Amino acid sequence: MEKLFEYLGQIQNLLDQILTITDNQTTILLSLTGSEEEDEDQALDMMAQMADYKDEITKTLSSIEEDFQACYEASKGLIKEADHVRAVQGLVKAILDSKQAIVDQEQRNLLLLQAHSKKKIERVHVSHNASHVSDVYKKQQKKV
- Alpha-carbon distance of 35 to 120, in angstroms, equals 11
CA angle 66, 70, 75 (to 5 degrees): 145
So what's the pLDDT on residue 125? 56
Q: Is 44 exposed, middle or buried (0-12, 13-18, 19+ CB in 10 A)?
A: middle
Residues 98, 15: contact at Cβ < 8 Å? yes
CA angle 95, 100, 103 (to 5 degrees): 130
Q: Is 50 exposed, middle or buried (0-12, 13-18, 19+ CB in 10 A)?
A: middle
- Domain containing residue 67: CATH number: 1.20.58
Structural domains counted in the chain: 1
Give the domain range for residue 127.
2-143
So what's the pLDDT on residue 128? 61
- pLDDT tens-place values along the chain, 144 residues long: 789 999 999 999 999 999 999 999 999 988 876 667 777 888 888 999 999 999 999 999 999 999 999 999 988 888 888 888 899 899 999 999 999 999 999 999 999 888 877 766 655 555 667 677 677 777 777 765
Q: Is the dihedral of CA 70, 76, 82, 84 positive or negative?
A: negative
